[in-house]
A and B are shown apart, each in its own frame.
Chain A
Amino acid sequence: MSEPQFEQSNMQHRPACGASKPDLNRIRGIIAEHDGQKWPLIPVLQKIQDDIGFIPPESITILAEAFHMFPAEVQGVITFYEQLYMVPRGRKVVRVCRGTACHVRGGKSILKLVKQNLGLEEGQTTPDMEYTLETVACIGVCALAPNLVIGKETYGNMNPKKVSQLFVKQTGSGESGGQS
Chain B
Amino acid sequence: MVETITITLNGREVSGYSGMTVLELARESGVDIPTLCHHQHLAPYGACRICLVEDEKSGALLASCVTPIGPGMVINTASPRVLERRSMIVRLMLASHPDSCVVCDKGNRCELRQIAADLGIGLAGLERVYSPAIIQEVNPFMERDLSKCILCAKCIRADHDMVVEGVIDYMDRGFGARPSTLADVALEQSECTFCGTCISVCPTGALMEKNRVYSGSTAKAVDTTCPFCGCGCTITLEIKDNRIVRAVPFNGRVPSNNGRSPFIGVAGHGPPEAGVASAHVPGREVNKGTICVRGSYGYEAVQSPGRLQRPLVRKDGDSAFEEASWEEALEAVAAGLNGAIGAGGPQSVAVLGSTKCTNEENYILQRFARTVLGTNNIDNGSRLSSAGTRVGLGWTLGTPGSTGCLEELEISDVIMVIGANPSESAPAVAYAIKRAVKQRGAKLLLVDPRMTKLRPFAHLWLRPRAGTDLSLVSGMARVIIAEGLQDDEFVTRRTDNYADYKASLAPFSPEDVEKATGVAGADLVEAARTFAGAERGSIVCGNGITQYVNGTATAMALANLAMLTGNIGPHGGDIVALQRDNNGQGAADMGALPGFLPGFNSVQDPEARSKFEAAWGMDIGENGTGGLPDWVGDTALEMIGKAQEGRLKAMYVVGENPALSFPGKEAVKAALASLDFLVVQDIFLTETAKLAHVVLPAAGPFEKEGTFTNLEGRVQYVRKAVDAPGESLPDSEIVMRLAARMGSPIVYTPTQIMNEIEDLVPLYEDPCETEIARPGGVGGGQFPGTDRRGRRFAVERSRRLHKGQFPSAFDRFHPVHAEDSPGSNPGPCQPDGGGGGLLLLAGTGLYRSGNGSTTSRSRRLKAIEPESYIELNESDMVALGISSGDMVKVISTNGEVAARARIAGTLEAGTVFMPISFPESPANALFGIELDSRSKLPALKACSVRLERIGS
Residues of chain A touching chain B, judged by Cβ–Cβ distance below 8 Å, are 1-7, 9-10, 13-14, 57, 60, 65, 68-73, 75-76, 79-80, 82
Find out whether the CB atom of A80 lies under 8 angstroms from the CB atom of B173. Answer: yes
Closest 6 CB pairs of A and B: A70-B166, A76-B169, A72-B169, A2-B98, A6-B133, A4-B132
**Which single member of B131, B175, B456 contacts A2 (CB below 8 Å)?**
B131
- Given known pairs A13-B183, A71-B166, the reply for A2 and B99 (CB within 8 Å) is yes
Whether A80 contacts B97 by the Cβ 8 Å rule is no
Chain A residue, CB-CB nearest to B164:
A70
Considering the complex, give the chain B residue whose CB is closest to the CB of A6.
B133
Determine if B6 is an interface residue (Cβ-Cβ < 8 Å): no
Which residues of B are found within 8 Å of A80, using beta-carbon distances? 170, 172-173
Measured between C-beta atoms, what is the minimum distance from A54 to chain B in Å? 15
- A71 to B190: give the CA distance in the assembly, Å: 11
| A57 partner residues in chain B, CB cutoff 8 A | 183
Question: Does B147 count as interface, using CB distance less than 8 angstroms?
Answer: yes
Chain A residues whose CB sits within 8 angstroms of the CB of B96 once the complex forms: 2-3, 5
B172 close to A10 (CB less than 8 A): yes
29 sampled A-B residue pairs with Cβ under 8 A? A1-B95, A2-B96, A2-B98, A3-B96, A3-B175, A5-B147, A5-B175, A5-B176, A6-B146, A6-B178, A7-B132, A10-B180, A13-B183, A60-B182, A70-B165, A70-B166, A70-B167, A70-B169, A71-B166, A72-B168, A73-B169, A75-B169, A75-B180, A75-B182, A75-B183, A76-B169, A79-B172, A79-B173, A80-B170
Report the Cα distance A6→B131, complex, angstroms. Answer: 10
B181 contacts partner chain A, Cβ-Cβ < 8 Å: yes
B183-222 interface bits toward A, Cβ cutoff 8 Å, 1 = contact, 0 = none: 1100000000000000000000000000000000000000
Kindly state whether residue B129 has any CB partner on chain A within 8 Å. yes
Inter-subunit contact A72/B172 (CB<8 Å): no
Any chain A CB within 8 A of the CB of B949?
no
**Max chain B C-beta neighbours (<10 A), residue from A7, A60, A70:** A70
Within 8 A of A (CB), among B147-181: 147, 160, 165-173, 175-176, 178, 180-181
How many B residues touch the partner, as a band?
20 to 34
In angstroms, Cα B180 to Cα A71, docked, is 11
Residues of A near B131 (CB, < 8 A) are: 2
Bound CA span A3–B132, Å = 9
Given the complex, which residues of B lie within 8 Å of A79, measured CB to CB? Answer: 170-173
B97 & A6 in contact (Cβ 8 Å cutoff): no
As a 0/1 sequence over residues 440 to 460 of chain B, the CB contacts with chain A under 8 angstroms (1 = contact) are 000000000000000010000
Q: What residues of A have a CB within 8 angstroms of the CB of B168 in the complex?
A: 72
Q: Which residue of B lies closest to A10 (CB)?
A: B184
A14: chain B residues within 8 A (beta carbon) = 183
The CA-CA distance from A76 to B183 in the complex, in Å, is: 10
Closest to A82 in B: B173
Give the residues in chain B near A76, CB-CB below 8 Å.
Answer: 169-171
**Could you say which of B98, B133, B172 has the most chain A C-beta atoms within 10 Å of its C-beta?**
B172
The minimal Cβ–Cβ distance linking B655 to chain A, given in whole angstroms, is 40
Q: Bound state CA distance, A72 and B159, in angstroms?
A: 11
Q: Collect the chain B residues with CB atoms within 8 Å of residue A1's CB.
A: 95
User: Please, which residues of chain B bring their CB within 8 A of the CB of A69?
Assistant: 166
Query: Which of A65, A69, A76 has most B Cβ within 10 Å?
Result: A76
Interchain nearest-CB distance for A77 vs B (Å)? 9
Q: Using an 8 Å CB-CB cutoff, how does the interface string of B450-488 with A read, 1 for contact, 0 for none?
A: 000000100000000000000000000000000000000
The distance from the CB of B649 to the nearest CB of chain A, in whole angstroms, is 59
Question: A13 to B171, alpha carbons, bound, how many Å?
Answer: 10
Minimum Cβ distance to chain A for residue B91 (Å): 13
CB contact under 8 A between A71 and B133, given known A2-B98, A2-B99, A10-B172: no
Q: Which residue of the partner chain, among B95, B132, B166, B170, contacts A6 with CB atoms under 8 Å?
A: B132
From residue 406 to 446 of chain B, which have CB atoms closer than 8 A to chain A? 438
Chain A proximity of B734: nearest CB distance (Å): 49
State the majority secondary structure of interface residues on A. loop
Give complex CA distance A69, B97 in Å.
32
Contact A72 B99 (CB under 8 A): no
A6 and B182 contact, CB distance less than 8 A: no
Closest chain A residue to B168 by CB distance?
A72
Shortest A60–chain B CB gap in Å is 7
Complex alpha-carbon distance, A137 and B184, angstroms: 28
Cα distance, A179 to B176, chains bound together (Å): 31
- Measured CA separation A31–B170 after assembly (Å): 23
Most A C-beta atoms less than 10 A away, residue of B96, B167, B180 = B180
Additional 8 contacts, C-beta under 8 A, given A70-B167, A73-B160, A76-B169: A2-B97, A3-B96, A9-B184, A10-B184, A13-B183, A65-B456, A70-B166, A72-B169
Closest B residue by C-beta to A69 = B166
The complex places the Cα of A72 from the Cα of B172 at a distance, in Å, of 12
Residues of A within 8 A of B129 (CB): 2
Contacts of B438 in A (CB 8 A): 68
Least CB distance from A83 to B in Å reads 12
Instruction: Give the residues in chain B near A10, CB-CB below 8 Å.
Output: 171-172, 180, 184
Contacts A10-B184, A75-B183; A5 near B133 (Cβ below 8 A): yes
How far apart are the CA atoms of A68 and B439 in the complex, in Å? 11
Residue of B nearest to A71 (CB): B182
- A residues within 8 A CB of B97? 2
B143 CB to nearest A CB, Å: 14
CA distance A14 to B184 in the complex (A): 9
> Bound complex: CA of A180 vs CA of B258, how far in Å?
65
Q: Taking the nearest CB of chain A, how far is it from the CB of B167, in angstroms?
A: 6
B150 to chain A, nearest CB (A): 12
| Distance in angstroms between the alpha carbons of A9 and B171 in the assembled complex | 11
Q: How far is the CB of B127 from chain A (nearest CB, A)?
A: 11
Docked pose: A72 CA to B181 CA in angstroms = 6
- Which A residues lie within 8 Å of B182 (CB)? 60, 71-72, 75
Residues of B within 8 A of A82 (CB): 173
A6 near B169: Cβ-Cβ < 8 Å: no
Q: List B contacts of A70 (CB < 8 A).
A: 160, 165-167, 169
Bound CA span A14–B183, Å: 7
Chain B: CB-nearest residue to A4: B132
Among A2, A7, A14, A73, the one with the most B-chain Cβ atoms within 10 Å of its Cβ is A2
State in angstroms the CA–CA spacing of A1 and B169 once bound together: 26
Residue of A with least CB distance to B457: A68
> Which of A1, A5, A13, A80 is the most central at the interface, judged by chain B CB atoms within 10 Å of its CB?
A5
B174 nearest CB across to chain A (Å): 10
A51 to chain B, nearest CB (A): 22
Q: Determine the distance from Cα of A3 to Cα of B97 in the docked complex, in whole angstroms.
A: 8
Closest beta carbon of chain B to A57's beta carbon, Å: 6
* Complex alpha-carbon distance, A90 and B77, angstroms: 55
Across-interface contacts of A3 in B (CB, < 8 A): 96, 147, 175
Alpha-carbon distance between A14 and B185 when the two chains are bound, in angstroms: 11
Give the chain A neighbours of B170 by CB distance below 8 A.
76, 79-80
CB distance from B854 to the nearest CB of A (A): 33
Closest chain-A Cβ to B546's Cβ sits at a distance in Å of: 32
CB-CB < 8 A to B166: which residues of A? 69-73
Docked-complex contact A13 and B132, CB < 8 angstroms: no
Tell me, in angstroms, the Cα distance from A5 to B178 when the chains sit together. 10
Task: Provide the residues of chain B in CB contact with A4, threshold 8 Å.
Answer: 132-133, 147
Distance from A146 Cβ to chain B, minimum over Cβ atoms (Å): 27
**Docked CA distance A97–B181 (Å):** 34
- Name the residue on A nearest B95 (C-beta): A1
Of all chain A residues, which has the CB nearest B441? A68
Chain A residues lying within 8 Å of B181, measured Cβ to Cβ, are 72
Find chain B residues with CB under 8 A from A6 CB.
Answer: 132-133, 146-147, 176, 178
Q: Which of A3, A13, A60 has the most CB of B within 10 A?
A: A3
Cα of A146 to Cα of B13 in the assembled complex, Å:
65
Most buried by B among A2, A69, A72: A72
Q: Are B167 and A72 in contact (CB under 8 A)?
A: yes
In chain A, what residue has the closest Cβ to B175?
Answer: A5
Contacts of A7 in B (CB 8 A): 132
Complex CA–CA separation, A5 to B171 (angstroms): 13
Q: How close is A158's CB to chain B, nearest CB, in angstroms?
A: 29
Complex: A113 Cα to B184 Cα, angstroms? 34
Docked Cα-Cα span, A13 to B175, in Å, equals: 17
